[in-house]
Structure 1
Amino acid sequence: MSGLLLELLYSTANTMLDVLPIITIILVFQLVLLRRPIPRTKRVMLGFVYVIIGLSLFLVGLEKALFPLGELMAKQLTRPEFIYTHAHELDLHVDWKDYYWIYIFAAAIGFSTTIAEPSLIAVAIKAHEVSGGAIGVWGLRVAVALGVAIGISLGSYRIVVGDPLHFYILAGYVVVVIQTFVAPKLIIPLAYDSGGVTTSTVTVPLVAALGLGLAETVPGRNPLVDGFGLIAFASLFPIITVMAYAQLSEWQEHRKGSPKKQEQN
């Protein structure tokens, strides 16, 4: 208990140092440049206290739960005893198809963490309000979550086979550029932002831990070289799926509207 308390105090001290530049910049601009008092000073200061406490607890939680859990799941799912059904097959060559449970787990954890991502929820609500209801909250969240699920699963496959990361990223952005020319103009800025909001507090720790754990257990992989890169997949593929979601919705609207136009003619 005392060790955990010391870790929490250490995390709180580091968080205060990290937040200090933000507070300093705000105070300098507000008091020196704008020369206006901070409205509701007590409420603002209390909010900063909440931020420091929340970040400190979150960082300790990462070290104690999310990072170890992600690495543990990756190691357990890649154990030869788990991959092979029979004990006498342990000496056989491991093929990329034998890691299918890793791909399923990566897709599932990517989808579930993205659906729970607070930043994505905030963006989806604002997009729904600004668009006058044209962009559905759940439609956007599911589209982004599907992109993350596909991206992390494909990124896990890349780690298993050892392919160069830039091949996948370049190919993905070629698709993004092509979609940008044909997707509805309303969705393009939101799609590009959706790729960024996925890499936040809930998704990143588990995805990073999964990549490192997978690179440590797959023979011939280097955690430093192969363990990172999953977050790039998690940022890229939501752009593709959100624009695809908009294109599919537009196609369905045209399909519904075409019989009405024929009747009018």
Structure 2
Amino acid sequence: MSTIICNYAVLRFQPYPETGEFANLGIVMLCNDGQFLQRCETRQRQRITHFFDKLPTEVFTRARREFLEELRRVVKLANAHAEDATMQRRMFQHLVAPRETMFRFSQPGTVATEDPRQALEELFMRYVHHDFSQHENLETRMTSRVAQWLRGFTDRQYNEITLGNDLLQVRFPLVWQVAGRPRQAVKPISFDLEETSRIIEKGDKWLMRMKRLEASGQAPLDTVFVSHEPSETQGPRRRAYQEVTRELTENGLLRIVPDALGKHGVTQAIAAKPTTMH
């Protein structure tokens, strides 16, 4: 199956803009194969009305019904023009554009997938039902996917290896060795974390690990992080990610490749750097 690139945004209910509080209600997704998808919560009324306890129940129920009717109309129209990518893109951009209403969308994010409907379900469970077990397992799924992609290389083989010395041991899931020495390590990693502090802390942890590996002479010649970025294209989480990636890459300790590039883009980037041994 080919990799499909999808843009998505999270539907939020924010009745009181001045407080900044909101509840996630659904996901809308536009894919480069012409699929325009949506999934929204239609049943759990009490979860919302308990959170916004001063909001009359009938106000939320009526507003949600009317908004979802309009959303379904837009999605149906977009899918009727699946061959017109420009029109679909304009409809998506208009739909998720910032506006001062009770229903609004997050900044768009991007995901690479072979199954858009499965990706839609995973995003819905993460953002709407707060299924954090899916988030915690994201790197496991990423590693499995990248490992499958790397099997396409005929000149190398990747295995899980622990690198380091008696003071520091760092496990890499995908390491290519030549004559017992690590030539290239590939680490799928997610920085799509809920809090900016967790993004910074995760980056700092790996920065120190890589510096110590380098100082001990145990670092691979080339290290590649296949990175799952924060979903927002701007804002604090994006700035935290940009700071982390700058610090990780500026001294040449490693390279970062976005997983949104898909199979071809990721494997091409991994293979691009010469990897002759010292």
Which structure's residues are more often strand, by fraction?
2
Identify the structure with bigger relative contact order (alpha carbons < 8 Å, sequence gap 6+): 1
TM-score higher than 0.5 here? no
Q: TM-score with structure 1 length normalisation?
A: 0.34
Which structure's residues are more often helix, by fraction?
1
Q: TM-score with structure 2 length normalisation?
A: 0.33
Bigger Rg, structure 1 or 2 = 1
